[in-house]
A and B are shown apart, each in its own frame.
Chain A
Amino acid sequence: MAEVTAAVVPAPSASGRVPGRAGGIGIVVEHHWRWYRRNWRATVVSSVLQPLLFLLAFGVGFGALVSGSGRVEVATGGVGYLVWLAPALLAMSAVQSAAFESTYPVLSGFKWQRVYHAMAAGPLSAAQIGLGHLTWIALKMFASGAVYVIVIAVFGGVTGPGVAVSLVAATFTGTAVAALVMAFAATVENEGSAFTGLFRFVVIPMTLFSGTFFPVDRLPAVVRPLAWVSPLWHGTELARSAALGRWQPLAAAGHVAFLLVLLVIGAVLVARQFRRRLTP
């Protein structure tokens, strides 16, 4: 029976081909972009409104409370609290959205919607699928950050073009964090308490004690090393030096190197965990 069919109908030849290494990552980004075009309204709240509230509460509200005492200027090195805070908020909001975007959406890709499995049935590699999603998160962070910069400028928190470098530094920091979180999320089978634990015991302490709202040197000496291992502290230092024009080349190189190492480790782990999960 099979032979008869084979003889009558010419064998079809498939039109699919294997996209290149970067091309494959680009297609994953395109997939997320298609989703975003439809659903961007839902994400505006978390990516812009939430940082705006932080800006209002701390930059404007708290800032007014502490200004004029002279003690703020001592801590900020002579600039107003809002100007000092704004680039740090940029980094903080990047890290927060990085953590969020690389937890539940990643678990959904593996488990609920299983979109990663659909992608993996095609010619892309597991690494391209993971790194494509990471690239999308980075692009989205950059775009939300750019909107945030405009909002900060409206409130008078921007003093010069250095803030553009702050935006890049914030995105870089967020991407390093996203890579590590994504590699972790790829090992999570059930939502359970894994992600709430991550937010409660890692992300929130990190946002509070990384020099965002007050300089790290105001912390007790024993706690300070915790800030030094926090990627957000490194990102905050970079973003702030850029915005305020206070570069210290050696320190900046150290911050960049630290974040770069995290990003590379994160990317390697993402590729490995995605492969383990998608092609057992």
Chain B
Amino acid sequence: MSDALVQARDLRKRFGAFEAVRGIDVDVARGEVFGFLGPNGAGKSSTMRMIACVSPRSGGSLQVLGMDPGSDGPRIRARIGVVPQLDNLDTELSVRENLEIYGRYFGLSRRRVRAKAAELLEFAQLTERAEDPVEPLSGGMKRRLTIARSLVNDPELLLLDEPTTGLDPQARHLLWDRLYRLKREGVTQIVTTHYMDEAEQLCDRLVVMDDGLIVAEGSPVELIERYSTREVLELRFLPEHRPAAGELAGLVERVEELPDRFLLYTADGERAQAEVARSGLRPLSALVRRSSLEDVFLRLTGRSLVD
């Protein structure tokens, strides 16, 4: 067996007649931050739940920390940390109590959880609120507490399912910073997200999932190089000036038509913009930007990621 913390081959998950995960291969190496990227319903969360050993697989093979979730679920769960999509803190206990009781579930002594809770309160910047009940905390604080809680057993593998969904930008950056610190400490992380910027910020390597399958795999930079151009020119038109996509096709490598704009894929956005002007088209606005994972996703699936 390799150094892979997670190894899946032809992994499948069925719910009745519906197959949410339709045969995927995944290898996550120790120490890396690995991402599952895809729209809602792509099968990311079902995959995460199988890795977290709370959902039996329907087919294929799966190894987590070198063990089989089907027979070693409790032993695997004792050594991983989980940040679920929906907060499930005990809102009627205090911040500190949430950490302490959760540590107890992992067989830690009362003395040990007291010390660990103090350490994690610092990590999550919640020491000031330690004795407050959880209920009135802000979304960002609850999220930080949930992440701190997932670290109570010093996990070798941390699973984060949409960790920053619903948070404001400031709270997201603070969370990213904490996750980066964990990475430096050597904690392997698996993240699902439908935010491109999050995937680019956090992930060493990621897979793009769509409709229960993996459609691409690589580092963010590799994926962008492979499936997109260096730059993108975004054009918006007034309805009366809107050209047919064919009129733009000759100017650049590739054109995507979205309901509200055109995306022109090219190595040199400025030059494409000049050519658009020369050809007599009159865009309402033009914006040149770097290609992102959003463009990769659009290319691979023909759909945008966040509606």
Which of B54, B87, B101, B106 meets A15, CB within 8 Å?
B106
Query: Given contacts A5-B183, A114-B88, are A16 and B101 in contact (CB under 8 A)?
Result: no
CA gap between A116 and B152 in the complex, in Å: 17
Q: Whose C-beta in chain A lies nearest to the C-beta of B205?
A: A2
Measured CB to CB, the closest approach of chain A to B196, in angstroms, equals 19
Which of B3, B32, B106, B154 meets A122, CB within 8 Å?
B106
Q: Whose C-beta in chain B lies nearest to the C-beta of A18?
A: B74
Instruction: Decide: A117 and B84 in contact? CB cutoff 8 A.
Output: yes
Contacts of A6 in B (CB 8 A): 3, 29-32, 186
User: Does any Cβ of B come within 8 Å of A251's Cβ?
Assistant: no
User: Does any Cβ of A come within 8 Å of B296's Cβ?
Assistant: no
User: Does any Cβ of A come within 8 Å of B102's Cβ?
Assistant: yes
Instruction: Decide: A9 and B184 in contact? CB cutoff 8 A.
Output: yes
User: Does any Cβ of A come within 8 Å of B235's Cβ?
Assistant: no
Instruction: Decide: A9 and B31 in contact? CB cutoff 8 A.
Output: yes
Q: Mark B56-95, 1 if CB is under 8 A from A, else 0.
A: 1000000000000000001101111010101111111110
User: Does any Cβ of A come within 8 Å of B156's Cβ?
Assistant: yes
Q: Mark A1-38, 1 if CB is under 8 A from B, else 0.
A: 11101100111111111110001100100110011001
Query: Given contacts A113-B90, A117-B84, are A34 and B101 in contact (CB under 8 A)?
Result: yes
CA gap between A3 and B29 in the complex, in Å: 8
B residues 156-208 touching A (CB-CB < 8 Å): 156, 183-187, 204-205
- Could you show 24 A-B contacts with beta carbons less than 8 Å apart? A1-B219, A6-B30, A6-B186, A9-B31, A9-B185, A11-B31, A13-B154, A14-B156, A15-B153, A16-B152, A17-B107, A18-B107, A19-B105, A23-B107, A34-B101, A35-B93, A38-B92, A113-B89, A118-B84, A118-B88, A119-B105, A122-B78, A122-B105, A279-B54
Measured CB to CB, the closest approach of chain B to A16, in angstroms, equals 3
Q: Classify chain B's interface size.
A: 35 or more
Interface of A toward B, CB cutoff 8 Å:
1-3, 5-6, 9-19, 23-24, 27, 30-31, 34-35, 38-39, 113-115, 117-125, 278-280
Give the 10 A-B CB pairs with smallest separation, nearest first.
A16-B153, A2-B32, A16-B106, A9-B186, A6-B31, A114-B88, A14-B79, A16-B78, A123-B78, A122-B105
User: Does any Cβ of A come within 8 Å of B108's Cβ?
Assistant: yes
User: Does any Cβ of A come within 8 Å of B23's Cβ?
Assistant: no
Contacts of A12 in B (CB 8 A): 154-156, 185-187
User: Does any Cβ of A come within 8 Å of B104's Cβ?
Assistant: yes
Q: Mark B92-127, 1 if CB is under 8 A from A, else 0.
A: 111001000110111110001000000000000000
User: Does any Cβ of A come within 8 Å of B15's Cβ?
Assistant: yes
Query: Given contacts A14-B80, A18-B107, A280-B15, are A35 and B92 in contact (CB under 8 A)?
Result: yes
Instruction: Decide: B97 and A15 in contact? CB cutoff 8 A.
Output: no
Interface of B toward A, CB cutoff 8 Å:
3, 15, 29-32, 52, 54-56, 74-75, 77-80, 82, 84, 86-94, 97, 101-102, 104-108, 112, 149, 152-156, 183-187, 204-205, 219
Q: Whose C-beta in chain A lies nearest to the C-beta of B83?
A: A121
Q: Whose C-beta in chain A lies nearest to the C-beta of B159?
A: A121
Instruction: Decide: A1 and B107 in contact? CB cutoff 8 A.
Output: no
Report whether over half of chain B's contact residues are helix, strand or loop; otherwise say mixed: loop
Instruction: Decide: A1 and B93 in contact? CB cutoff 8 A.
Output: no
CA gap between A30 and B152 in the complex, in Å: 17
Instruction: Decide: B204 and A1 in contact? CB cutoff 8 A.
Output: yes
CA gap between A121 and B149 in the complex, in Å: 11
Contacts of A125 in B (CB 8 A): 74
Which of A2, A13, A17, A121 meets B82, CB within 8 Å?
A121
CA gap between A5 and B31 in the complex, in Å: 6
Instruction: Decide: A1 and B32 in contact? CB cutoff 8 A.
Output: yes
CA gap between A113 and B91 in the complex, in Å: 7
Instruction: Decide: B102 and A122 in contact? CB cutoff 8 A.
Output: yes
CA gap between A16 and B74 in the complex, in Å: 10
Query: Given contacts A3-B29, A35-B92, are A17 and B106 in contact (CB under 8 A)?
Result: yes
CA gap between A15 and B82 in the complex, in Å: 15
CA gap between A213 and B97 in the complex, in Å: 44
Q: Whose C-beta in chain A lies nearest to the C-beta of B153?
A: A16
Query: Given contacts A2-B205, A10-B186, A12-B186, are A123 and B77 in contact (CB under 8 A)?
Result: yes
Contacts of B29 in A (CB 8 A): 2-3, 6
Contacts of B93 in A (CB 8 A): 34-35, 38
Measured CB to CB, the closest approach of chain B to A135, in angstroms, equals 15
Which of A14, A120, A121 meets B154, CB within 8 Å?
A14
Instruction: Decide: A117 and B155 in contact? CB cutoff 8 A.
Output: no
